Homo-oligomer: A and B are copies of this chain.
């Protein structure tokens, strides 16, 4: 990883041990040399699980495995490797996923279907599974409750900084903790989740309720981000609940008792999703896009994503040009209901275009200053209805071309 750390990087928060979770990272030499590339995560007996995965029609073998395993609703172990995505690897790839799960199940004393696997890296090459399984016994002996930081580092590929987030929440009178780690930098346009993200809580939550809060939380966080419009074949978010904290029983349907938990989970998802955008390949600026006045929330989201994915908008921002004309173009190309003559655009809080034309004599000074900053705010009002959406992206720079014109992912 010769890449310089993203100028938008946030420092790794200290993740306290979480009852029921032990982790170990190690080097299996699958593709990278001289760094950890495998993570083993062990979960206490009785842990429940929820997951969301890529909607890419060509998912990797690990995604197939996890989808099937999720039906059981129980999890005892997770194996993640970086450097090889085990995607488009045919029947052999499916065997790699199963072999990995079987090896980890033996060490954890559980069924293979209680083991979740995830892989990230190059597509279309066979994963040397023997290197992975050879590393597992060693990792199993090294499992520790305080290895969250090492875990976040072991799953990186083109990432320039490790990504983690933590929150606490109240369930009844009890305090539960949520810890999460993620990786991702390019091929980021999550349609269900993004690249790889693993979250655990010590709360005791039935898998149906867990799935419900996770799916809702992902919608406005991971699924509201894009780096390059390219939806990965490996997107995976898994949430585990170890049930180690005593609190009132959470019903299968979740409900009001999970209100504070859902809030805390959404914050963890938000932190991790934004960390991925902050580490967008070549990113120099973090861009927040708010669309209001759309005919519906879905329509607002599609308009916001059209802006977020426009190469011309992203290169203008890289060039620190408050080019609202390109924003107008992107609104118009989205194909959603829009009326040029009701459209307004603001950058950095300054409305530059209103009702179909430029705002005569608007003050350009604060806009110019805003464009020089690291965090850019764009607001669009379509003036049609009450639908709104917020999404995040990064700018498009020479760094993106450097990374992707050479790195084989």
Which residues of A are at the interface with B, using a C-beta cutoff of 8 A?
55-59, 85, 87-93, 122-125, 186-187, 189, 191, 228-233, 309-312, 315-316, 318-319, 321, 323-326, 328-341, 343, 353, 355-358, 396-398, 400-401, 404-406, 408-409
Contact = CB atoms under 8 A, between A and B. Distances in A.
A124 B356 contact: no
A266 to B, nearest CB: 26
B358 A58 contact: no
A336 B312 CA distance: 26
Contacts of A398: 398, 401
A33 B346 CA distance: 31
A405 B329 contact: no
Contacts of A340: 57-59, 88
Contact of A230 (B318, B333, B357, B408): B333
Given A57-B339, A89-B358, 20 more contacts: A55-B335, A56-B332, A57-B331, A57-B332, A57-B333, A57-B337, A59-B332, A88-B325, A123-B325, A124-B357, A187-B329, A232-B329, A316-B405, A316-B408, A319-B404, A319-B406, A321-B406, A321-B408, A325-B409, A397-B401
Contacts of A93: 357
Contacts of A339: 57
Given A88-B357, A325-B87, A315 B57 contact: no
A127 to B, nearest CB: 13
11 contacts: A57-B337, A57-B339, A57-B340, A58-B340, A88-B356, A123-B325, A124-B325, A311-B404, A321-B406, A323-B409, A401-B401
Given A124-B328, A230-B311, A343 B401 contact: no
A354 to B, nearest CB: 9
B328 A123 contact: yes
Contacts of A358: 88-90, 124-125
Contacts of A90: 341, 355-358
B319 A405 contact: yes
A346 to B, nearest CB: 14
B405 A315 contact: yes
A337 B58 CA distance: 10
A396 B396 CA distance: 11
Q: Among the interface residues A56, A58, A309, which one has the most CB atoms of the partner chain B within 10 A?
A: A58
Nearest to A382: B57
A311 B335 CA distance: 21
A325 B122 contact: yes
Contacts of A332: 56-59, 231, 233
A409 B353 contact: no
Contact of A404 (B91, B315, B401, B409): B315
Q: Among the interface residues A231, A400, A405, which one has the most CB atoms of the partner chain B within 10 A?
A: A405
